[in-house]
Amino acid sequence: MASTPNDPLDIEQALRGLLALQVAEREERMAEGASRRTELILADAGLSFAAIASVTGKKRDSIRKTVERARKRPASAGDDD
């Protein structure tokens, strides 16, 4: 079914799309280790591991491990912006 300009915009899909674009842009411009991990920022914002995996294109389990490891590190270990 083709969409037309008058079709209502699904707000959840639109927000996911915007978030995915922001994540992609951030990942492209950030230097390795120079900034807080995208996964941790999204997790701290309340997104589930599955939702983060969906917008980053990574596996849920790798998201979980990344977030768990980052949370175990002391705050001075470089996870801040």
pTM: 0.60
Residue at 43 is within a domain: yes
Query: 41-64 pLDDT, tens per residue?
Result: 888 888 889 988 888 889 999 999
Average pLDDT, the chain: 78
Residue at 63 is within a domain: yes
Residue at 11 is within a domain: no
Residue at 64 is within a domain: yes
Domain count, the chain: 1
Find the domain containing 72 and state its range.
35-76
Measured between alpha carbons, how far is residue 10 from residues 2, 16, 17, 44, 51 in Å?
15, 10, 11, 25, 17
Residue at 41 is within a domain: yes
Residue at 25 is within a domain: no
Confidence of residue 35 (pLDDT cuts 50, 70, 90): low
Does residue 81 surpass a pLDDT of 50? no
Residue at 2 is within a domain: no
Does residue 32 surpass a pLDDT of 80? no
